[in-house]
Amino acid sequence: MGAIPWGAMAPVGPDWDLTGFSAWLGGRAAATRTAYRSDVRAFAQWMARGDVHRPEEVDRLHLRRYLASLGTRRLARATVARKAAALRCYFSWLTRQGRLEADPARALRAPSGGGRLPRVLSAGEIDALLDVPGEGALDRRDAAVLELLYAAGLRVSELCGLDRGDVDRRARTVTVLGKGGKQRRVPVHDTAVAALSAWLEGGRDDMAGPSEAVFVNQRGSRLGPRDVRRIIDRRAASPTHPHALRHTYATHLLDGGADLRVVQELLGHASLATTQVYTHVSKERLRAVYEETHPRA
């Protein structure tokens, strides 16, 4: 079979068994499964352009060249790191299946995703998002969404997946299903509970959608990540990613003296190293305050 021209989209043959790989990833978050399958598919298409059509034909040099090619496309380092993780996971799976004698992706390295510090919203930006008057059902929903994202540091997927039974307003907690299917219970403050109550008691039943879902959209479906992005876009004075509220939550906790391991548990991070990025954010904030306020700085 001849090599496929570089401008063409190469098909992915059954030898790559993306269906089997996706099924094996069943215990991971839906977003992770989708991303990993897409990443492996893109790699298989790239390999096909070089006349390599089976994973058994891939060696470590192929993988290194692929990651290098991603670097020339100016992708974010976090994106390249995720693609490398997907390939390590995929080839590890093939090795465990007995299809490979040796794992070519073992110890495959890519730039870490920590090149950019996460953005932390200012007090004014938080107020602009949260302190918006409104009495309609959508206003109450939007207020509850944003209050909960900032009060509990939830991932957007965790918020969208909330069911009514996951919210305990009396105990002031929400129970979420995080990455890897890990469940955790997160405390929330009174203002967030009040916003949730206003929505659940004065708006939620006016909107169609799955009866168990806490948040729904106007199309009668469970609220999705794009819906959350639109909510923020309507309220934010400048472009703001929903994940910025999670970054701000973690940084504000550390600024207030919270223990790093406590913040790790609240965020649902498997590794403390993931949480430690917020200590760098806090140091940057402290330096900024120092330079702005010290007379001789």
Count of C-beta atoms within a 10 Å radius of residue 246: 21
* Dist CA 15 CA 29 (whole Å): 25
Residues in the chain: 297
Backbone φ and ψ for 213, nearest 5 degrees, come out as -75, 135
Catalytic residue among 246, 247, 249, 252: 246
Q: Looking at the chain, list the stretches that DSSP marks H as alpha helix, in order from N- to C-terminal side.
A: 18-24, 30-49, 60-72, 77-96, 123-130, 137-152, 156-160, 190-202, 225-235, 243-255, 260-267, 272-275, 277-293
Half-sphere exposure (Cβ direction) of 208: Cα atoms closer than 13 Å: 4
294 catalytic per annotation: no
Phi, psi (deg, nearest 5) at residue 163 = -105, 160
**Helix 243-255 crosses helix 137-152 at what angle (to 10 degrees)?**
50
Q: Which residue is catalytic, options 179, 185, 229, 235?
A: 179
- 290 has catalytic annotation: no
Q: Which of 182, 243, 261, 287 is catalytic?
A: 243
Contacts of 19 (CB under 8 A, 6+ apart): none
Q: Is 179 a catalytic residue?
A: yes
Number of H helices, E strands in the chain: 13, 3
Task: Specify whether 269 is catalytic.
Answer: yes
CB neighbourhood size of 34 (10 A): 13
Q: 177 φ, ψ to 5°?
A: -105, 110
Note if 278 is an active site residue: yes
Options 82, 83, 88, 155, the catalytic residue: 155
Residue from 66, 90, 249, 278 carrying the catalytic annotation = 278
Measure the CA–CA gap between 127 and 138, rounded to whole angstroms: 19
Q: Catalytic one among 140, 204, 252, 269? A: 269
Helix (H) or strand (E) holding 210: none
Residues annotated catalytic, as ranges: 155, 179, 243, 246, 269, 278
